Amino acid sequence: LKKTIGAAVVGRHLSSVEQTPSGPAPLYAQTLAREFNVLVPANEMKPKSVHPTAEEWNFAAADAMVAFAEQHGMAVHGHTLFWPQDRHTQEFLLAINDPAALQAQIVAQTRAMVRHFGGRVRVWDAVNEAVGRPGHVRRLLGGATGYEHVALAFRVARDELDKLGHRNVKLLYNDNNIERPSSDPKARVNLVYGMLKDFATRTPRVPVDGVGFQYHIGLGGATGAEWRETAQRLIDLGLTVSVTELDINLGRDEVKSPELLRAQRDKYFGIVQACMQLPACTGVTTWGFTDKHTWLKAFDPDGVGSDGPNPYPAPLLFDESYAKKPAYYGVLRALRLLSTPGPTG
């Protein structure tokens, strides 16, 4: 039984140095390497970063992060091969109006990314945030069920990996706001389930290995127990589950009171505990690790197609000075459940 604990990383911070009482220190890189065993590039493996225009391919930033991970014994989780929302799709693709031509471009891009990283990326968010999103790519490639573009991306990525001999590289469907069960058939959690059930029962099945639950929430977000219920239905389809982008904000412009920090700790504990209790849960990744650098705090100058200003402070495990927060100890306590024998040994 081994689970991973990961963090999303902004590449350019890996070489940053902080002033500390005992002199300058690379706290970002040090903390990451000391505490986590999975690294996810927050932006550097997105199609918009890697292949911004029809002529350009930039793998350098992502390659440097893969090298950092390898030097520090961390696995790399790739994010993402296909993100079919218009604002996260390159202009040169949005300009294509012929379905066959668009499909050829997307297939070529997906194959090129998979080939470039090969077995150095252990798991991919192969498709990110597709369900329930309209847009150009879906309109042209969606097909009868509306999810043919998703199926295509999985088949192409799997085929390329198999050809390269990387049968162990896993492919996830990754999405947000799918943690809490809902009785509304149109809720995203149910649409995702429906799509994946359809994929799992086709012959040949669409090769999805697991589901990534982003888990961007506030203190009122889905509890670990609620998520376990959602996760179990997907596990019953033969899929793994992973928490891929966890952060827990304290509310808009909220002060970091001890009460709120304890509530945040307990929320983190419950979610990580749920993963520890599910054998099919591969691990938990937080979206960043220090409150100094979080997409939730402010307009994000590192962003690719940024989401704009988000004034929610303090969603992560380390504070702005890289000190461990109560949330850190909540996660640690949950991780220890794994190595502690239960009543049956």
Among all residues, which ones are annotated catalytic?
129, 245
The whole-angstrom separation of Cα 131 and Cα 276 is 27
**Contacts with ligand 9MR, residue ranges (CB under 6 A):** 42-43, 128, 176, 214, 245, 295, 300, 302-307
Residue 103 or 285: the one with the smaller Cβ distance to ligand 9MR is 285
Identify the three-state secondary structure at position 99: helix
The least distance separating ligand 9MR from the CB of residue 33, rounded to whole angstroms, comes to 20
The least CB distance from residue 305 to ligand 9MR, in Å, is 5
> Residue 147 contacts by C-beta under 8 Å, 6 or more apart in sequence?
130, 131, 195, 198, 199
Name the closest residue to ligand 9MR (Cβ). 303
Which residues of 74-132 form beta strands (DSSP E)? 75-82, 121-128
Nearer to ligand 9MR, 243 or 335 (CB): 243
Q: How far is the CB of 64 from ligand 9MR (least distance, A)?
A: 17
Nearer to ligand 9MR, 176 or 277 (CB): 176
Closest separation in Å from C-beta 211 to ligand 9MR: 14
CB count in 10 Å sphere of residue 101: 12
How far does the chain reach from its first CA to its final CA, in angstroms?
A: 14
Query: Looking at beta carbons only, is 88 or 166 nearer to ligand 9MR?
Result: 88
Q: What are 5's strand-pairing partners?
A: 284
| Collapsed DSSP state (helix, strand, coil) of residue 47 | helix
The whole-angstrom separation of Cα 53 and Cα 62 is: 17
CB atoms near residue 252 (< 10 Å)? 10
